[in-house]
Amino acid sequence: MALVFRDRSEAGQLLGRRLAHLRVEHPVVLGLPRGGVPVAAEVARALDAPLDVLVVRKLGVPFQPELGIGAVAEGGVTVVDSDMAERSGLGRYEIGVVAARERDEMARLVRLYRDGIQPIDISGRTAVIVDDGLATGGTARAAIRAVRARGAAKVILAVPVAPRDTVAELEHEADEVVCLRAPGQFQAVGQWYGNFSQTTDQEVVDLLETNGSLDPGGLRLDPGELSLDPGELSLDPGGLASSPGSAGSAGSRLPGDSSGGGCGSFERDVVIDAGSVELAGRLEVPEGAWGLVVFAHGAGSSRHSPRNRSVAHALQARGMGTLLFDLLTEEEALYRAKVFDIALLSSRLVEATMWARRQPGVGELPVGYFGASTGAAAALSAAAKPGNYVRSVVSRGGRPDLAGSALPLVPCPVLLIVGGADTEVLEMNREAAARLCSVTRLVVVPGATHLFEEPGAMERVESLAGEWFEEHLALQASRR
């Protein structure tokens, strides 16, 4: 019997010592439930890092559940070992049934563990994925891909024990794999622990509440914004492809206007005076810009959001300036009440708009808003404020329902873009569209989930947003 660790806490402490060099990178530690969370809690303490949970579910063979053929993870990630599935005699339909069941369980666990709190924003950061041990590595592979999809700059997989060949395979997936024991002969993770009793859901919740509340570089936020895909196992990429004209229009300028706004191109980091606070932002304006789009990010995100930055670059290619900024300071973002205070967020958006109108080179440009997730509610609420004079609003996967009584007061054209697989948010957008009194269009991107991570989905969002602003924001530019 190759006993090495007394229990998960000891394994986590030893793993934390091995990872001590990461402290200077200010990482985020992500525990895989259930057993990985007690290990991750010790690692987070050792690194003085925030702790979060990443829910992953193994896809087991129906008649032999312990035999894994893949895994599903938060964010719509699905990994299937086709060779193992074939050897098990499972076809596409059978795998789909298993995957659907595990997605349902994953959604239940997400609701239980987060209790209204969304994952920490890991975009641009080092993410350390921790489990209590690995066998085939299927769940770890899904976790790594899910974390990469969320924009992590560096992904490290850390476990106390795993088979040598599994570690070697995962080294091609993660930037680094740290494993305390990697034996050639391996039967089960439990053989390496003195106490390997099952971790309960309540223990996971308690550990997250104790260790996961503070994060100087990020935030755990709202589950209504989670990207879970309870639908089909696979999505039709054909339904997500960009429209035939999108590639050609991506680099276009204001139709019929070769001169643009006459201002030279520039980009710079800025500090926005929002009354009692100062907010960090990034202002980028192409030469001859004819409009300015101000971004309102969603809960758990920031001006560094890779998705919003991608949209911003697409709009710049069409001749629009962009302003991405943090709606809250780092200190404010630690308080959940502020994160969902739409009145506060919308007032910050108005302050940022007023600030932009005072800047040389962009002050005379017509302004549009691009809001994502809860940021869409802030954008709509801000657009409804008297005297703000915003010319157009685009919402991506938004929560316009949170704008409440402001919806009927929005005077400008509104485009609502929602993923077809994001069913709950889609219904919220349909109801909100019925309450908006201005020109409104609801576009559903087939097969896309909440974060539009599927192939071609974000390109479709970029095309739709660009065309909408060219139609409605450009009209105002031509009247200047």
DSSP conformation letters of 117-168: -PPP--TTSEEEEE-S--SS-HHHHHHHHHHHHTT-SEEEEEEEE--HHHHH
Q: Does one domain contain both 170 and 112? A: yes
Any domain includes 190:
yes
Per residue of the chain (480 residues), what is the pLDDT tens digit?
456 899 999 999 999 999 999 999 999 999 999 999 999 999 999 999 999 999 998 887 776 666 777 788 887 777 777 777 777 777 777 777 878 888 888 888 888 988 777 788 898 999 999 999 998 888 898 899 889 888 899 999 999 999 999 999 999 889 999 999 988 888 888 889 999 999 998 999 989 888 754 343 333 333 333 333 333 333 333 333 333 333 333 333 443 343 344 456 788 899 998 878 889 999 999 998 999 999 998 766 678 888 889 999 999 999 999 999 998 887 777 777 777 889 999 999 999 999 999 988 888 899 999 999 889 999 999 999 887 889 999 999 999 999 988 998 898 999 999 999 999 999 999 999 998 888 899 999 999 998 898 999 999 999 999 999 998 886 555 444
CATH number at residue 280: 3.40.50.1820
Q: Is residue 232 part of a domain?
A: no
Bond from prior residue into 348 cis (ω within 30 degrees of 0):
no
- The reported pLDDT for the residue numbered 218 is 37
User: Is residue 45 located within the same domain as residue 194?
Assistant: yes
Q: Give the integer Cα–Cα distance in Å for 85 and 234.
A: 15
- Same domain? For 196 and 297 the reply is no
Pairing verdict, β 176-181 and 278-285: unpaired
Query: Residue 90 maps to which CATH number?
Result: 3.40.50.2020
In a domain? residue 230 = no
Residue after which a domain boundary falls, among 225, 254, 275: 225
Do 201 and 283 lie in one domain? The reply is: no
What letter would DSSP give residue 331? T
Query: Residues 192, 161: contact at Cβ < 8 Å?
Result: yes
pLDDT reported for residue 245: 34
Same domain for 24 and 71, yes or no, is yes
Q: Are residues 217 and 241 in the same domain?
A: no
Q: What is the pLDDT of residue 254?
A: 41
**395 within some domain:** yes
Q: Which helix (H) or strand (E) holds 296?
A: strand 291-296
Q: Do the domain assignments include residue 118?
A: yes
Q: Which two tokens stand for residue 181?
A: 């024991």
Buried b (16+ CB within 10 A) or exposed e, 354-364: ebbeebebbee
Domain termination site, one of 161, 196, 225: 225
In this structure, are 213 and 253 located in the same domain? no
Question: Which domain range does residue 139 map to?
Answer: 8-225
What 8-state DSSP symbol labels residue 243? P
Do 133 and 160 fall within a single domain? yes
Q: Give me the pLDDT at residue 247, please.
A: 33
Q: Are residues 399 and 317 in the same domain?
A: yes
Structure tokens of 16? 């934390």
Q: Based on the structure, what is the number of domains in the chain?
A: 2
What are the CA-CA distances from residue 152 to residues 144, 149, 175, 331, 453 (Å)?
Answer: 10, 8, 11, 22, 14
Residue 1 in any domain: the answer is: no
What are 3's two structure tokens?
Answer: 């006993």
Same domain, 167 and 292: no
User: Which domain-ending residue is among 197, 225, 253?
Assistant: 225
Full-prediction pTM beyond 0.75?
A: no
Is 34 contained in some domain?
A: yes
pLDDT of residue 463: 94
Q: Are 192 and 306 members of one domain? A: no
Evaluate whether residue 3 is within a structural domain: no
Residues 220 and 265 in one domain: no
